[in-house]
Chains A and B, each alone.
Chain A
Amino acid sequence: MLWRDWRGGELNILAIGLVIAVASITAVGFFTDRIERGLQMQSAELIAADLVITSGRPAINDYIANARENDFQVTTTQQFRSVLLANERLQLAEVKVVSEGYPLRGVLRISDSEFGDDEATTRIPAAGELWVEARLLQLLDLKIGERVSLGNSSFILGKILRYEPDRAGDLFSVAPRVIMNSIDLTATGLINTGALVNYRVLISGERSDINRYRKIIKNKLRPGEKIMTVEEGRPELNTALKSARQFLGLAALISVLLAGVAVATVANRFSKRHLNSSAMMRCLGATQNTIIQLFTLEMIWLALLASSVGSLLGLLTQFGITELLDQLVLTQLPAPSFKAVILGYATGIVMLMGFAMPPLLTLRRVPPLHVLRKDVPIRLTSAWSIYLLVLLSMSLLLYWQIDDPKLVGLVMGGTVATLIVLALAAYLLVRMLNQLRSRVGVAWRFGLANISRRPGSSIIQIVAFGLGITVMLLLSTVRSDLLNDWQASLPADAPNHFVINVQSDQVVAITDYFKSMGVSNTQLYPMVRARLLEINHAKVASSDYENERAKHLLTREFNLSWAEKLQQDNTVVAGSWWSRKDFSKPLLSLESKLAETLNLKLYDVVGFDINGTILHFTVSNLRSVDWDTFNINFFTVVPPGVLEDKPANWVTSVYLNKQQRQQLSNLVREFSNVTLINVESIMQRVRNIIDRVSLAVEFIFLFTVLAGLAVLYAAIQSNQDERRFENAVLRTFGASKKTLMLGLFAEFTLLGALSGLLAGLAATSLAWLLAEFVFKFDYQFDPSVALTGIITGTLIVASAGFLGTRSVLTTPPIQSLREGVQ
């Protein structure tokens, strides 16, 4: 039967629709999977491995042995604070002890001079050698090649360390970084029992193996041990990576939905074409079940066949595009996984069965009398339960692919709501057009009549066009907002140097110094060191908290700053920012996540030990802070007039170009206590990743647009039979090609404009929802989206419709009349 239908041309449209659908899903699936894994590899650099286990205790050998048994690459690091001695000066340093193989992902960048070019290396310091941050040389007045003491050992300063992939976000740590080889550790005698050391096991391997291993390890962690993820390793990339993943997921999701709409549209046409043959089979004695079995079997074969072709096409498309993008996106994309193929097949079968089933069930109910009389009513099967089942299966498939229930829920819900709204609006518009049809000229009359004489298929077309355009508008809006948001988070002139340890009496001089270098508006922020002692007049200790971060916070000092105004990338989420009358009052503004970690609420009273005195502050507001930027921000801020008499350090961040950087050595000489931190290399890394993610997003967007066009094509094809027949009748009665073309033009222009208008409104609402609840950026309502919708809708639908129906105009009328319409 499959072959017979195929030979008869009945299945072509359905198969083509399905192939387009499966191909677009698998291509996007393959590509997002590869890009995602590529990004994962790329971002794995940020923790220097695919998986890191950290611990405060040295008992980590079992993890090392276990990881080696699993054929993973393994290395270790140990980090602690210690003091370096040189030129009779002492300097606190953050020491990192590394073993052969470090880093497993990414590279170290080193140089021989403070401000010269750096180079990438896969080596680690040789035995007896230290690599140090440039500011250590400033602080100890040393040069490369000179000696320094650490613990019981003496080391040669081998290289200046410019970049380490897994340097965590604590750029303000007072102590500069020192890297040494683990071979030298025992001789230094630095690690005794009770020393505060952070032990890390770095592991890398195949993604799936790592994921499996992560799950196993997660349940075996002992107190004080934890698994570190990429997001924790580099918080400033957090948002970009998360939203990139979500956007790629969204794009894949939307291709699936578009494909579903395409298949549903063509399945409808397929069933209409089969009304006669089903009636005929009933006449020849086929039972309802025989008919349903025949068509179900046919659909399964078709689904398998089309899914195979579609998957192959998807794979080939993806290979071709990867080839093009190889140079641009990621130098080496990991090989495609078969997840996309399984997804392609599953989607193909679910979609075809789901969307073709309701019309098939209708075929079962075709009365044999239909052979004789076409006007015999056919009882339609209620399709709601089946569509609901399809929606559920699709949601599960999508959840399996993108693992983000909120996004899946929002998009599925949004799509269903959009479909309902589009269908209702389309119904009303078609009704309104019907009123108009007796009041316009011949060509427009035919155009309008074309729409209103087939209300059912016109509504389906408007909904399909509308959904296609909605998706294109939505993705382009979200995409450009997302890219703008990322670019805004790291503009070209974002601060690339931090200046810390500035004393109160140096503030004016430093500001003037930068002014003389051509850097204006340097804003310095005060910091007063304080230790948290009391909450609501009760003593607090780290043992009061279960949470590791809370424990840590209670052992370290806070940097209390004061400010008149709320900083730009801060938002008050509870309480209110102080006014002038509140200055000098002991109020406190807390970063909201910190407050949550410490269980602090609005109006709690917090006691800090500042330079030996306990001061009490009332929490007057909670702020959310955008940590993705490289701007200076504080967890704790008080109003002006409270801490000015306490010993304060000042800090600032500035953007310096290449010429200005050359003058930095003078700054260090003039203000010897001031420390400079260069974050240019880190920012460059972050920028690179964001650029690549942006490219991936642009590409996936393009592909989804193609899927959208497939839907438009399917929608145009959906009533081609009726259109062909009608045009044949019109031509028989003397309609010229011009009249027919004008009629088609009028019809598609109207359909396009109506769909575009509805799509513009739908896209605006959905974009707001996504911005608000998923991507978390400020959405600006833009009336031009609706206008763009109307224009693109009219242009795309009019041209696609016209191209798609050209054959209608060239078929001899006698042929169309003979074929008739079912």
Chain B
Amino acid sequence: MTNTVSNVFVEARQLGKQVTTRDGVLTLLDDINFSIEAGTSVAILGASGSGKTTLLGLLAGLDTPSFGAVILDNNNLNDFDEDGRALLRAERVGFVFQNFQLLFGLTALENVMLPLELAQAAHPRKTAEELLIRVGLGERFHHYPNQLSGGEQQRCAIARAFSTNPRCLFADEPTGNLDSETGKRIIELLFELNSEHGTTLIMATHDAELSTLCKQRLVLDAGRLVEDGAS
């Protein structure tokens, strides 16, 4: 399914999302067009409610657009059902969320093993342990999320995101729930791993300073793309 002719990894074509509320149809995203090269880092900027998370969800295939298309690694996501998109995600995509989204009943190690098991990877435990050591949680394998600090939880989430060695990593406000010092260290870790793994990083943030670390900036305002350029 992979086509290596183009170096574009993600592309949005006339992408739009609408939801129907009691007061009528609400447009969350309207006519978004851009492309992202493989291996680059992109910041999606915008105020709260500008549509950053919605766009990220659509790009990752976590939701379906109302119109337009997302091309992920030469695959038009509209051609896939939920299971097909899940398979694509399992093979090529990793996630880091603002709320960490770790499973509370699983230990740190089990949380990191989760995507590996889903992808039926060989030696999931060994890979997960190595990654946890890499993110500085070597002593925390068997701790549950509520026994970890916010920063530790996000490290664990980053380890989980990189566990399957994804070609692209989506991060939604990864430092949004952390103090500035911890946030800074998390970003450093994220970029270090990004360069080590050669991953495409697509990060939604409202932090203009953070966006300067990325090679490409996409700025949203009220659901419309108002800027697409290099940082």
Chain A interface (Cβ < 8 Å from any Cβ of B)? 374-375, 442, 445, 449-450, 452-454, 722, 725-726, 729-739, 812-815, 817-818, 820-821
Contacts and interface: CB of A to CB of B under 8 A. Distances in A.
Interface stretch (B7-15, B110-118, B222-230): B110-118
Nearest to B172: A817
The 9 closest A-B pairs by CB, nearest first: A453-B105, A734-B90, A814-B57, A733-B115, A814-B62, A734-B89, A814-B63, A736-B83, A375-B146
Contacts of A737: 82-83, 86
A209 B70 CA distance: 78
Interface string B76-117: 000000110011111101010101010111100010001101
B120 interface: yes
Contacts of A725: 101
Given A733-B115, A817-B97, A812 B87 contact: no
Contacts of B103: 453, 726, 729
Contact of A732 (B62, B83, B106): B62
Contacts of A374: 146
B53 interface: yes
A132 B63 CA distance: 89
Contacts of B118: 442, 730, 733-735, 739
Given A454-B105, A812-B63, A813-B62, A738 B83 contact: yes
Nearest to A813: B62
A734 B86 contact: yes
Contacts of B60: 732
A725 B64 CA distance: 19
A734 B87 contact: yes
A295 B28 CA distance: 36
A813 B172 CA distance: 14
Contacts of B208: none
Interface of B: 53-54, 57, 60, 62-64, 82-83, 86-91, 93, 95, 97, 99, 101, 103-106, 110, 114-115, 117-120, 146, 160, 164
Contact of A733 (B83, B95, B120): B95
Nearest to A457: B105
A738 to B, nearest CB: 7
B19 to A, nearest CB: 10
B82 to A, nearest CB: 7
Given A375-B146, A449-B106, 9 more contacts: A725-B101, A726-B103, A726-B105, A730-B118, A732-B62, A733-B89, A733-B90, A814-B63, A817-B62
Contacts of B86: 731, 734-737
Residue among B54, B87, B101, B104 with the most chain A CB within 10 A? B101
Residue among B82, B87, B93 with the most chain A CB within 10 A? B82
Contacts of A730: 114, 118
B57 A445 contact: no
Residue among A818, A820, A821 with the most chain B CB within 10 A? A818
A813 B88 CA distance: 15
Contact of B91 (A375, A731, A734, A820): A734
Given A734-B115, A735-B86, A818 B53 contact: yes
Nearest to B99: A820
B93 to A, nearest CB: 8
B106 A453 contact: yes
Contacts of B114: 729-730, 733
Nearest to A740: B86
A242 B96 CA distance: 67
Nearest to B115: A733
A732 B104 contact: no
A676 to B, nearest CB: 78
A739 B115 CA distance: 12
A820 B89 CA distance: 20
18 contacts: A375-B146, A445-B117, A726-B103, A729-B101, A733-B90, A733-B95, A733-B118, A733-B160, A734-B87, A734-B91, A734-B93, A736-B83, A812-B62, A812-B63, A813-B63, A814-B54, A815-B63, A817-B62
Contacts of B54: 814
A735 B90 contact: yes
